[in-house]
Structure 1
Amino acid sequence: MAKLPGNAGVSVLGDKSLEFYRDPVGFCRQRVEKHRSRVFQCRLLNRPTAFICSVQGMRELLSEKSSLFLKDPTDLMTNMYGDTVVTANGEEACLLRLSLTSLFAGSCLESSSDYITSVCERCLKDLSLSGQPACVYSSFKRLGTELVLGLFLNVQADEQPELYQEIVQLCTQHWHGLISAPVNVKVPLWSSGFSTALDARDKLMDIIKDKLENDTQGFVGRLGSLPLPDSNSASQHLLLFISALIPKALASLLTSFTLALSGNEQEKTRRRAMEDPDYLHRVLLEVQRLWPPFIGGRRIADQDATLAGLHVPKGYGAIYISHSVHRDPEVFQQPDSFLPERWSGRNAGQEHFLCSFGSGPRSCIGIKLTNFFLKLECLPILQPACLCQCV
């Protein structure tokens, strides 16, 4: 059993969190080269932490040894969203997952397709007819927000514009708290970002609880009828589902898709993606591989364990870095090249080697819905009239 390369440093002074969050890609690339290992250690959030940048290490962390590595109960996500399928551990997480999975598959997906299609067609038509170049990330984020609030909360922008705008503003304030220092301070005329986020969360919860009490239709009605652990669980999960997290992820992937397929040299790729659903799926896998929307995910070792043959002591953090895992040259040849064909060749059937939305038993329960979103949204984007407006 080999020791983790690198050094965890001393408490506080040896912490590398600021350096990591400034440039996660550069941080990991530099240390992979320095240690000649895609698994190494540093101090992150003042805890000795194993950084996982290999497919093998990621698969062990998230699948084969997932019971040995737990979600951090003090994580900021717990403070901001409460006990949800994302933050729970053990049997509680399994039971929540079993209850919620039905909401994101089968007939529930099919019943959403008309709404998703209508929103995509309208928003993307507005983009193509604007006559001016547009910042596509902002446009796609608005599209994602409209989809999320319409599907999960039954609040549509054209039917309830004032409530819709109020929720958008509160979701934005709530999200900013997630990426700010967790310091809850209020003084006259000023509040910290975290304090503002907690206030926004409370207001969102009031709206959500009112919806759960009075709306029996759509996703809200189905969620309210599920056997969940306590009376707060449905509202906490709705808060998670309508947060800015999902629109930002969708906007990131759609922006990467647009940039990857723009230009005259990609005309053949665009035409093939429009005509062949299987090829479009491979294009989207490659976009996700090269430009994952999230940094990764973090766990805590519940006991001494190994990852990729390296010793991870009990109490250590373990963080997988999606960008680095997806460029593991042991698995992905020409790892920095955009090659959709790899998914029908050497990497056929290896979609589980991607970790943009987690992997294994704790992977994102909404991945089928996300893929459904993306495929419906990407076809209109491939139209020449739409692509020519994107910058």
Structure 2
Amino acid sequence: MYKLPGNAGVSVFGDKSLEFYRDPVSFCQQRIEKHRSRVFQCRMLNRPTAFICSVQGMRELLCEKSNLFLKDPTDLMTNMYGDTVVTTNGEEACLLRLSLTSLFAGSCLESSSDYITSVCERCLKDLSLSGQPECVYSAFKRLGTELVLGLFLNIRAEEQPDLFQEIMQLCTQHWHGLISAPINLKVPLWSSGFSTALDARDKLMVIIKDKLENDTQGFVGSLGSLPLPDSTSASQHLLLFISALIPKALASLLTSFTLALSGNKQARLRAMEDPDYLRTVLLEVQRLWPPFIGGRRIADQDTTIAGFPVPKDYGAIYISHSVHRDPEVFQQPDNFLPERWSGRNAGQEHYLCSFGNGPRSCIGTKLTDVFLKEACMYLLKHYDWCLDPPSQDLEYKWLPVSRPANPPTISFTRLDLTRSDRSDTN
């Protein structure tokens, strides 16, 4: 057995958290090259931590040995969302997943399709109307917000605009608590970001509990009838499902999709006509530009990852950006090559970890896939598009959700309008 490359450092002074958060991609790439290994160690959040940047290591961590690595009970996600399917461990996590799975599959998933179609139509039909370039990330984030609030809370922007705006603002304030120091402090005329987030959470919970008590339709009605552990579980999960996390992830992927096919009319036409090619495009978008940089676990006992020892109480972080560019699995790892998913990497979708992997993967992955395909097909059928201006800085920032650091602007040109579309615009 080989020694885990790198150095775990000394307490506090040897911590590399700030360096990682500044630029996680460069942080990992420099150490991969230095140690000539895609698994290495350093001190993160003042804990010796194994960084996992290979497909093999990720699969061991999240699949084969998932029972040996636990979610951190002190994680900020627990403070902000409570005990949910994302934050709990062991039997509790398994039972929650079993209870919730039915809401994201089968007839429940099918019943969402009409609403998803209507949201895409309403939010995307006017992209070319102003004649000016669109900040696509903002437009797609609004689309994602309408989706989650309509699906999970039965709150439609066109029917309850004031309530919709209030919840959207509260969700944004709550989200900022995830990316601020966990300091709950209030003084006259000022509150910490974390304190503001907790206030927003309390206000959201009032709205959510009212919905659970009085709305028997759709997702919120089904959730209220599930066999969950206690009376607070349904409201905590609804808080998670309507959080800004989901719209930002959807906006990240849709932004990357439009950038990847910008100026490539032939690829857009092929994706519109061939559902399988669209599937490979979306897989490649997810591979190169995963919305989340990765995830963290704590070793519950001494074990190994990719042949390296990981002692009990070590942290273990998988880095999706690095895993997805593992040259042992993905040839020409930095190139956008959708055809790899119908060739060398056919059937290897399970090597991606944008939304986790294994038994703790995102419970809403199928719903996300349906939504992304619907939104992308609407764009492909109704628009040509290109970067405007043609030269823009598209360098990505990776935390808290990946997107170009400078929000890109794209010009959309409406394709030939159908008769029904003409009548809609008259």
TM range (shorter): over 0.9
| Separation (CA, whole Å) in 1 of partners of 2:28 and 2:346 | 27
Whether contact under 8 Å (2:148, 2:242) holds in the other structure is yes
Q: 5 Å matches for 1:54-65?
A: 54-65=54-65
Whether contact under 8 Å (1:17, 1:44) holds in the other structure is yes
* TM-aligned CA deviation for residue 380 of structure 1: 1.7
Counterpart of 1:343 in structure 2 is 341
* TM-aligned CA deviation for residue 127 of structure 1: 1.1
User: C-alpha offsets along residues 272-297 of structure 1, whole Å, 9 cap, x if unaligned?
Assistant: 11011111111100000000000100
| Separation (CA, whole Å) in 2 of partners of 1:386 and 1:251 | 19
Counterpart of 2:157 in structure 1 is 157
| Separation (CA, whole Å) in 2 of partners of 1:307 and 1:320 | 11
* TM-aligned CA deviation for residue 386 of structure 1: 5.3
Q: Which amino acid aligns with 2:221?
A: G
Q: 5 Å matches for 1:288-299?
A: 288-299=286-297
User: C-alpha offsets along residues 128-179 of structure 1, whole Å, 9 cap, x if unaligned?
Assistant: 2221111100000000000010000001111111111110010000000100
Could you list the runs of 4 or more consecutive aligned residues of structure 1 that deviate by over 4 angstroms after TM superposition? none
The partner residue of 1:275 within 273, 276, 291 is 273
CA RMSD of aligned residues (A): 0.9
| Separation (CA, whole Å) in 2 of partners of 1:235 and 1:128 | 39
Mean alpha-carbon deviation: is it higher for 381-390 or for 173-182? Answer: 381-390
Percent identity among equivalent residues?
A: 86
User: C-alpha offsets along residues 86-110 of structure 1, whole Å, 9 cap, x if unaligned?
Assistant: 0010111000000001101111111
Counterpart of 2:405 in structure 1 is none
Counterpart of 1:319 in structure 2 is 317
Q: 5 Å matches for 1:163-174?
A: 163-174=163-174
Is residue 5 from structure 1 mapped to residue 11 from structure 2 by the alignment?
no
Whether contact under 8 Å (1:128, 1:386) holds in the other structure is no
Counterpart of 1:199 in structure 2 is 199
| Separation (CA, whole Å) in 2 of partners of 1:275 and 1:318 | 42
Whether contact under 8 Å (1:53, 1:320) holds in the other structure is yes
Q: 5 Å matches for 1:123-162?
A: 123-162=123-162
| Separation (CA, whole Å) in 1 of partners of 2:272 and 2:303 | 46
* TM-aligned CA deviation for residue 384 of structure 1: 6.0
Q: Which amino acid aligns with 2:9?
A: G
Q: Which amino acid aligns with 2:351?
A: F
User: C-alpha offsets along residues 161-212 of structure 1, whole Å, 9 cap, x if unaligned?
Assistant: 1111110010000000100001111111111000100010011001000000
| Separation (CA, whole Å) in 1 of partners of 2:168 and 2:140 | 14
User: C-alpha offsets along residues 246-296 of structure 1, whole Å, 9 cap, x if unaligned?
Assistant: 000000000000000011xx2221111101111111110000000000010
Counterpart of 1:364 in structure 2 is 362
Counterpart of 1:236 in structure 2 is 236
| Separation (CA, whole Å) in 1 of partners of 2:233 and 2:354 | 25
Matched residues, number: 389
Q: 5 Å matches for 1:12-27?
A: 12-27=12-27
Greater relative CO (CA pairs within 8 A, separation 6+):
1
Is residue 109 from structure 1 mapped to residue 115 from structure 2 by the alignment?
no
| Separation (CA, whole Å) in 1 of partners of 2:188 and 2:208 | 29
Is residue 186 from structure 1 mapped to residue 186 from structure 2 by the alignment?
yes
| Separation (CA, whole Å) in 2 of partners of 1:105 and 1:127 | 31
Q: Which amino acid aligns with 1:343?
A: W
User: C-alpha offsets along residues 45-78 of structure 1, whole Å, 9 cap, x if unaligned?
Assistant: 1110000000000000000000000000000000
Whether contact under 8 Å (1:125, 1:386) holds in the other structure is no
SS class of match (2:11): coil
Whether contact under 8 Å (2:265, 2:384) holds in the other structure is no
